[in-house]
Structure 1
Amino acid sequence: MRPLDGIRVVDFSRVLAGPMATQILAESGAEVTKIERPGTGDESRIFEPVFEGGMSAYYSAFNRSKRSIVVDMKTDDGRQLAFDLAAQADVLVENFLPGAMDRLGLGYEALAEANPGLIYVSNTGFGQSGPYRDRKGYDTIFQALSGVIDLTGHPDGPPAKVGVPFADLTSGLWIVIAALTGLMGRVSSGKGCHVDLAMMDVQVSLLSLPAARHFALGEIPARTGTEHPGRVPSAAYRCKGGAWLFISASDQHWPVLCDVLGLTEMAKDESLRKNLDRVTRRDEVTAALSSAAALRERAELAESLRAAGVPAGEVNTVPEILNDEHIRARGMVGSFDDADRGATPGLRTPARFSGYEPHRFEAPPKLGADTRSILADELGLTAEQISALYEKGIVA
């Protein structure tokens, strides 16, 4: 048994945020049916790079453990099939522009009449209301508009996007939060609901700390590179040989940090004991720590700091962290069996629930791999009816 066993999810979403969310639900036990268009399916199926055997690495990262049914929703019969599947679901996830699902006859009001308990999550760029509701956008557009890009980068450099698709990934997590919150609300109310979840709103909500500084101080937060605006030291320092080490120290760590780095005079300086004083003298402190760190090999310095109780972390590359002994011991790098390639690596869903079976970790579905079985087993169509749908090109 898994935590979400018995929960049915119909997934109309494509590319990243929605598929990421429904993959988390699927690997937690929900039965997720991905509804895809004929021919191409989710456009991320052809995104580069691809594994040997032809599967997109991008697609495989967000579509494991699901089923795929191909339905032509440009046809009346196709829309009816999609409606019938949603009428049996607990959760629906879609990421079309506002009004698109209504025009297909698959909007919340129509489906709620047939399925009052449905949790219907609409993940759009700008939401169902507001002057920007009909705008299109991508991850980096939301990063830019929200101020995230303006906050990222070094003070003397241009703005920079986050190194991962930050807006998509955080929105995916909020889709999961919204779906599970809706399901919990249904337990007490007996009713489903429509969730209006805008990627733009998600990004703005993540500005909580910069916004708090603006509300309190009236400041316009600036780019700080790896430094923390309110704590010194908290930054990446370059070590001997060029590798980087991140050091973050509070007041109780400060004298110990100075001792490890050989900064005897700074350790004795009472005017640097409090963080507020170190923030005021940021340039002086940063210069001293940078010079001291540059004389030490990263591995040796990191171990010395950790042994002394000072928080420190190597700035790893992606291959370094994927092969890290702790990450491997935690089982974060897993492997699923792809029919065309065999064992294929991927990153596991991180939550672990005691008393339940482990999360699923199954290969992404081939396009339309489950169409026939879903039509027969869930919609109760006869072999003749199914054959007719295939012949008309309504399903594939």
Structure 2
Amino acid sequence: MISKSKRPLAGYRVVDFGQYIAGPAVAMMLADQGADVVHIDPPGGARWDNPAEAILNRGKRCVTLDLKTEEGVQQAIQLIRQADVVVENFRPGVMNRLGLGAVAMQVINPALVYLSLPGFSAKDESQSAIPAWEGVIAAAVGQFTDMGLNRILMGINPSFSPLPLASAYASVLGATSVNLALFAREKSGRGEVIEVPISAALMEGLAYNSMYVDELPDRYKSPRELEIQRRRRAGEPLNLNYEDLQEFLDPFYRTYECKDGRPFYTVCSSHTRHPIDCLKVLGIWDEIDAAGIPTHSAYQDLKDWPEDADCTIVSYPLSRDWADYVSTKMKVAFKTRTAYEWETLFGEAGVPGSAHRVTREWIHSEHALASGLMLTVDEPKYGPMLQFGNTCWLQGDTSVMDKQCAQPTSVEQVLQGWAEDTREVISVAAEAEPEGWLDGIRILDLTNVIAGPTIAATLARFGAEVISIDPPIPTLDPWNTIVFGMQANQGKTSALLDLKSGSGREVLLRLLPDIDVITINANDGQLQRLGLSYEELREINPEIILCQFDAYSGPKAGPRSDYSGYDDLAQATTGIMSRFGGGIDTPEEHAHFGTIDVLGGYCAAQAVAVALVNRAKGNGGSVARSSLIAAGQLIQVPFMYDYVNREPFNEPSGRQVKGSDPLYRCYQAADGWFFLALNKKTQIEDFKCVLNLPELEISMESDRHPLLEALFITQSRRYWEELFCPLDISCQPLVTMSQLREQNIMDESEANLDGAQSVAFIRFADHPCGYRLELIAPNSVRPLRSKVRVPVVMPKYGAHTVTLLQQLQFSDSEIEQMIEEGAAAIQWSDRYMPT
């Protein structure tokens, strides 16, 4: 077990100026790892009036400072002079005007790591001054107009979501960057200035919604995408109702009603084993097999498929005829048991599936409590309060379970304690050529799909060398490996090896002594079967870090810890789908791909960064952990808590909701939609005055206000922008992600990750997949001194198998034998992307 004095960030001092979610969440994550965090509030108290403030400030000491006075600024400077990290999420320029800007603070403390989380980049002249409310950022990058295929088919646009995706993505990337900068500081002694624009973080988190593949073959499109195409070509309206929409979902990627009426969600369409195992658990595989459903490999071109085959059960999606046949059988089977009975049967069989829950049910569920994903913290205001736990943790660090409420204190008490806690003075090296935080770090990537590969892809941009190894025979279909991989596997080399074979084990034995980090998405049972337990690894390399990521794990074991799962199942089990759909009877997936997957990858990358800091302090290797559920809880921070007499769980939900209340909402103008946001305490009188509505009464109990709806539609968005802008009231036009991509795209040869725009895309005109590809640029983390790479494109799977084996001193004859025996391969398919 890890003692408190040897916790990963023990001894590091953080000054947290953050308000609302993003900044305080970064500091919370640092406190969760043992850092001494001092949170600064203005005299009037926290700016965000939400019980979740108690979560974001747990483990911190809280100080009230008036930064509008010289005395308050000087006290802040005294704190910063003794600190390792500063976190702030004000608009660009605010800290400079207070005399607390990054450059000035590094003059007095050259070892300081200074993190800013503005809504939009300080270099972005067109947007940096915008009041960056969560909803404003979402509107500005297209989140509300690209909320998934379901909403497109139902003709619902825009769609509001109360989940703070932008702040969640930015906070984890911010915490990761702070840890990586501290890791690099152990060698250089130099601090760093880092900007993480929240808008850029959101766009990276929604990477799979915004990616564009020109002329992508229909075989890689879902039934919903094909129906959207068909309707648009035929000039038919996009007006499906919720019930009819369900029939356009693949049978292995949809919701079924169970015996008790509770819906159950299956996501069994990715792994080649899961569809058949799902049908076996349901007791209907033999019948469907006898009906002749195709089972051939999907890694052939369509022309090479068996005659008359229009799909295969081992690849998403099934054809419409087979989908109708299989789903009809599955509907009947699911009616024979309750949803929780199926959840246990699926979980024990290693098949991904989950009963739908609302958030309160999840918070109080057996697994959430037993696993430490939910924890009880004694709060002076709320009493015993259930809160979500760590976003990541090191195995054996039992202190992650011991959360304390925020402690009020004074600057004098903090400075006295820091003065008594003498520490070694950091020696600052001379300025050198910029390098990546992770230059020299080698990562062995054994992950798949989205969340897992995102871990190493996130770290590769900072200089890590990533070797990706997949099995010689693919276990996932081309949609999951190739289409998703073009985003998540950038910056990596690719080899195909059977690590369970004798020669595969020999590859590991030669490779592991020079590996710093292994990333794998597997539960404990799978690790044991692969011979990759931490005990076995550390015998070869005591300094190695094993990053283990899975679906349901927490710091302790729970009944579902070894269950398999995907993004959608984390949504289903924690209540996201019920909230988005408007109730447990009408659940909908949130924002299509990557809502939790990408964030989960970021959380695990943060775990690696924490483990690297821990190792740099002389504590050796460790097991760095995170899970999809840990990420799924973070994006529900405004709602992921409970206590006696808590107000009802009645946050905005459902298909028709356009905002949280009439003053934080999407409105339709004469020429399109915009998002309105204002401070209800300080700006409402100005709002009424400029609209010439002094008697306007607004109830915050509803998100609708008919008078405002009727008024706003009479003028253009530009008109309302020009009216509200002088009052600092946000009036942000809604854009689509495709519009944003077209306006902010760079060619691969000219890609610049330090440009002026907050959000940028890269066009790969000659991508090896054979199609023009456009992807989000990895520019959400912007260090001042260290280098960030533009990643090389994802290679064809197996492109580096032979090269890697040669580097490990295998002879040509040994390599040929490994390929002949199937222990190694140089490709999965003739083409990069089978057509």
TM-score range, shorter chain: 0.7 to 0.9
User: 1:178 maps to which residue?
Assistant: 177
Aligned residue among 14, 17, 21 for 2:22: 17
Q: State the distance in 2 between where 1:12 and 1:313 align.
A: 40
CA shift, 1:288, in A, is 2.4
Partner of 1:295: 335
Kindly state the Cα deviation for residue 372 of structure 1 after the two structures are TM-superposed.
4.1
CA shift digits 1:366-389 (9 cap, x unpaired): 4xx334413555589xxxxxxxxx
From the superposition, tell whether residues 148 and 261 of structure 1 become closer, same or farther in structure 2 (CA, over 3 Å): farther
CA drift at 1:358: 0.9
- What is the aligned partner in structure 2 of residue 391 from structure 1? none
Secondary structure of the equivalent of 2:318?
A: helix
SS in 1 for 2:95: helix
What's the CA shift for 1:176?
Answer: 0.6
Q: 1:7 aligns with which of 12, 17, 32?
A: 12
Alpha-carbon distance change, 100 to 340 in structure 1, aligned in 2, over 3 angstroms: closer
Aligned to 2:193: 194
Give the gaps of 5 or more residues in structure 1: 48-56, 381-396
Give the distance between the partners of 2:204 and 2:416, measured in 1 at CA: 44
Q: Could you tell me how far 1:203 is from its partner in structure 2?
A: 1.0
Question: Which of the numbers 117, 122, 140 marks the counterpart of 2:116?
Answer: 122
Task: Quote the residue 2:136 is aligned against.
Answer: 141
Per the TM alignment, residue 339 of structure 1 is displaced from its structure 2 partner at its CA by: 3.9
Change in Cα spacing, 1:239 to 1:143, as seen in structure 2 (3 Å) is: farther
1-structure distance, mates of 2:326, 2:80: 57
* Equivalent residue runs for 1:255-270 within 5 Å: 255-259=276-280, 260=282, 262=284, 265-267=287-289, 268=291, 269-270=293-294
Size of the aligned set, in residue pairs, is 366
Amino acid of the residue matched to residue 362 of structure 1? Q
SS in 1 for 2:128: coil
State how far apart, in whole Å, the 2-side matches of 1:139 and 1:171 are: 11
Alpha-carbon contact 1:232-1:279 (below 8 Å) kept: no
2:255 maps to what in 1? Answer: 236
Residue type of the partner of 1:255? I
Query: Which of the numbers 150, 154, 157 marks the counterpart of 1:156?
Result: 154
Of residues 328-337 and 64-73 in structure 1, the stretch that sits farther from structure 2 once superposed is 328-337
Identity %: 25
Measured in 2, the distance between the counterparts of 1:281 and 1:167 equals: 40
Q: Which residue of 1 aligns with 2:413?
A: 373
Question: Counterpart of 2:352?
Answer: 311
Amino acid at match of 1:239: C
- The amino acid of 1:151's aligned partner reads M
Could you tell me how far 1:184 is from its partner in structure 2? 1.3
Q: In structure 2, what is the equivalent of residue 78 of structure 1?
A: 72
Report if aligned partners of 1:240, 1:293 keep a CA contact under 8 Å in 2.
no
Stretch deviating more after TM superposition (268-277 or 173-182): 268-277
Deviates most, 61-70 or 140-149: 140-149
In structure 2, relative to structure 1, the CA distance for the partners of 1:141 and 1:76 (3 Å cut) is same
Q: Deviations over 1:293-349 (max 9, x none)?
A: 563332343344445442211112222222222222212322233345653332221
CA contact (8 A) 2:256 2:265 kept: yes
Larger mean CA deviation between 336-345 and 183-192 belongs to: 336-345
Structure 1 partner of 2:264: 245
TM-score scaled to structure 2, two decimals? 0.40
What's the counterpart of residue 351 of structure 1?
A: 392
Q: Deviations over 1:193-218 (max 9, x none)?
A: 11110111011112333344546739
Whole-Å separation in 2 of the counterparts to 1:231 and 1:304 = 21
Q: What RMSD in Å do the two structures reach over aligned CA positions?
A: 3.2
What amino acid is aligned across from residue 10 of structure 2 in structure 1? D
Matched, 1:278 2:318: yes
Secondary structure of 1:151's aligned partner: coil
Q: Unaligned 5+ residue runs, structure 2?
A: 229-241, 295-308, 421-835
Paired residue type of 1:262: I
Structure 1 residues 84, 370: CA separation in 2 closer, same or farther (over 3 Å shift)?
A: closer
CA distance in structure 2 between the aligned counterparts of 1:344 and 1:239, rounded to whole angstroms: 33
1:27, 1:308 → 2: CA distance? 34
Q: Greater CA deviation, 240-249 or 194-203?
A: 240-249
Say whether residues 1:362 and 2:362 are aligned partners.
no
Question: Which residue in the other structure is 1:169 paired with?
Answer: 168
Secondary structure of residue in 2 paired with 1:255? helix
SS at 2:131 equivalent: coil
Q: Hey, what's the Cα distance between the residues in 2 that align with 1:344 and 1:330?
A: 17
For residues 141-200 of structure 1, give each alpha carbon's deviation from its aligned partner in whole angstroms, at most 9, with x where no partner exists.
323333333134543152534453222222211111111111112122221111110111
Letter in 2 for 1:30: A
Change in CA separation of 1:293 and 1:128 when aligned onto 2, cut-off 3 Å: farther
Would you say the 8 A contact 1:93–1:120 is kept in 2? yes
The residue identity in structure 1 corresponding to 2:257 is: R
Q: Quickly say closer, same or farther: Cα 1:113–1:309, change in 2 above 3 A.
A: closer
